[in-house]
């Protein structure tokens, strides 16, 4: 376990979170390197003997130290913006393992990706195909492309993170896919290299994932019959993690089910996990400012807030909250809502938890490595948290805390 109690103290690998709070302050994201490595290797091992690429979905956690670690492990990268492309390059990621997804790529982003030599642009509309052809023609290159098709499979997840249904903004409609591929195959500045899909996030069942793979297979076979051969099949990401009492299938179970649905094939199989690689590897460390009794329960006001970790406010997401000092047997616990200082009623990080809170104590908000810092903001002019990477007994600051002055450094106070 990357995070466990040792001698009454919650630790990240071999470092006490108490020490990290003293050194780097709170709120602070803490990542356990071994947990990221373990998760990546689980995916890689699931493809043993198959040509495959595990492409980390950068939007889950884009810190350069995380990206550099992925690059060292041999991962590819699934990106959704020119900004993410620049991050991957800065972290030493291999450009020929980058897949560029996203429904709204700008011309400049397409040009940036083609100049960098990415593996593939995942296209989501006919208009985007025309734009890529034009940009590639201008640059005098052939753009490697895939279409993200919408398999119309219900992922049975939260509606905000379901992406593979017909009425969703993502992907090209199933019934349009063949026509678009034929059209792309005739264009002089486009090279058709793959196909992709991504049905949603926090999947807790292999069936919809395998169903999407089976639907892709039918399309790949229809394309082959048409003389359009592909180099890769991208099954997407979305592998669920355990936040509370969920029992997500293992990477091996997801991969096995999908490979079975695909049958024996020569194409490289791509997956793009985000959450499953980094979610459990991170915690948000926060200090209790006040304990405020309110009838039958307590409000525990902490120094982290919805701007630091948006998931509870945005999705009603549940994160485990652990006291950093291990509770003693028989300690009196009270029902508490853990809330932040932001001026919104939605600024609740955890509801109705049994804690023995004291002002000044530290709490760890668990499984916060994915879509935590990545979705943070400066709402209420709050500097975003520091980020720390722990490996064994070594802790290193991988993003220093912002200063308040930095938050308005780009603004102009008009004099009159």
Ligand X SMILES: *Cc1c(COP(=O)(O)O)cnc(C)c1O
Residues near ligand X (CB under 6 A) are 57, 59-60, 78, 101, 198, 201, 236-239, 272-276, 370
Between CA 245 and CA 247 the distance in angstroms is 6
Question: Smallest distance, Å, CB 162 to ligand X?
Answer: 11
Question: Smallest distance, Å, CB 24 to ligand X?
Answer: 26
Residue nearest to ligand X (CB): 274
Q: How far is CA 53 from the centre of its chain?
A: 17
Question: Smallest distance, Å, CB 112 to ligand X?
Answer: 18
Closest CA to 40 of 84, 72, 64: 72
Residue (84 or 361) nearer to ligand X, CB: 84
Question: Smallest distance, Å, CB 59 to ligand X?
Answer: 6
| 3-class DSSP assignment, residue 366 | coil
Residue 25, Ramachandran bin (φ over 0: left; ψ between -120 and 50: alpha; else beta): left
Distances (CA, A) of 86 to 21, 110, 310, 342: 31, 13, 25, 32
Residue (56 or 181) nearer to ligand X, CB: 56
Q: What is the DSSP letter of 88?
A: H
Give phi and psi for 148, each to the nearest 5.
-85, 115
Residue corresponding to tokens 């690689």: 277
Among 28, 197, 336, 343, the one annotated catalytic: 343
| Rg, the chain, Cα only | 23
Question: Smallest distance, Å, CB 38 to ligand X?
Answer: 16
Between CA 34 and CA 146 the distance in angstroms is 33
Q: Please confirm, yes or no, whether 343 is among the known catalytic residues.
A: yes
Q: Is 320:241 a contact under the CB 8 Å cutoff? A: no
Residue (39 or 302) nearer to ligand X, CB: 39
Residue (181 or 254) nearer to ligand X, CB: 254
Residue (98 or 386) nearer to ligand X, CB: 98
Residues annotated as part of the active site: 343
């Amino acid at each position: 376990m990357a995070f466990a109690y040792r001698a009454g103290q919650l630790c990240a690998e071999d470092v006490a979170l108490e020490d990290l709070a003293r050194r780097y302050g709170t709120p602070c994201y803490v990542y356990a390197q071994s947990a990221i490595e373990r998760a990546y290797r689980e995916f890689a091992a699931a493809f043993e003997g198959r040509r495959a690429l595990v492409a980390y979905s950068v939007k889950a956690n884009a810190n350069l130290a995380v990206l550099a670690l992925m690059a060292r492990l041999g991962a590819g990268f699934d990106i959704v913006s020119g900004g993410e492309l620049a991050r991957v390059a800065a972290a030493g990621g291999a450009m020929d393992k980058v897949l560029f997804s996203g429904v709204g790529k700008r011309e400049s982003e397409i040009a940036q990706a083609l100049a960098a030599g990415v593996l593939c642009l995942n296209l989501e509309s006919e208009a985007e195909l025309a734009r890529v052809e034009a940009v590639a023609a201008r640059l005098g290159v052939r753009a490697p492309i895939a279409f993200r098709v919408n398999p119309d499979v219900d992922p049975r997840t939260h509606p905000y993170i379901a992406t593979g249904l017909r009425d969703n903004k993502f992907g090209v409609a199933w019934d349009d896919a063949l026509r678009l591929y034929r059209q792309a195959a005739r264009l002089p500045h486009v090279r058709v290299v793959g196909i992709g899909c991504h049905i949603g996030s926090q999947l807790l069942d292999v069936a919809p994932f395998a169903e999407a793979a089976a639907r892709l297979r039918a399309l790949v076979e229809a394309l082959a019959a048409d003389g359009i051969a592909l180099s890769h099949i991208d099954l997407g990401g979305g592998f669920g993690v355990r936040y509370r009492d969920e029992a997500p299938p293992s990477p091996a179970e997801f991969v096995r089910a999908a490979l079975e649905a695909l049958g024996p094939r020569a194409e490289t199989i791509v997956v793009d996990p985000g959450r499953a690689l980094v979610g459990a590897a991170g915690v948000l460390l926060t200090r209790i400012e006040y304990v405020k009794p309110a009838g039958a329960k307590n409000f525990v006001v902490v120094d982290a807030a919805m701007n630091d970790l948006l998931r509870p406010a945005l999705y009603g997401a549940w994160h485990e909250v652990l006291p950093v000092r291990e509770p003693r047997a028989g300690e009196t616990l009270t029902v508490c809502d853990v809330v932040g200082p932001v001026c919104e009623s939605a600024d609740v990080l955890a509801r109705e938890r049994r804690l023995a809170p004291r002002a000044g104590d530290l709490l760890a908000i668990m499984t916060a490595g994915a879509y935590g810092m990545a979705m943070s903001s400066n709402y209420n002019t709050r500097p975003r948290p520091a980020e720390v990477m722990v490996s064994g007994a070594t802790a290193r600051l991988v993003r220093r805390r912002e200063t308040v002055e930095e938050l308005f450094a780009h603004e102009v106070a008009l004099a009159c």
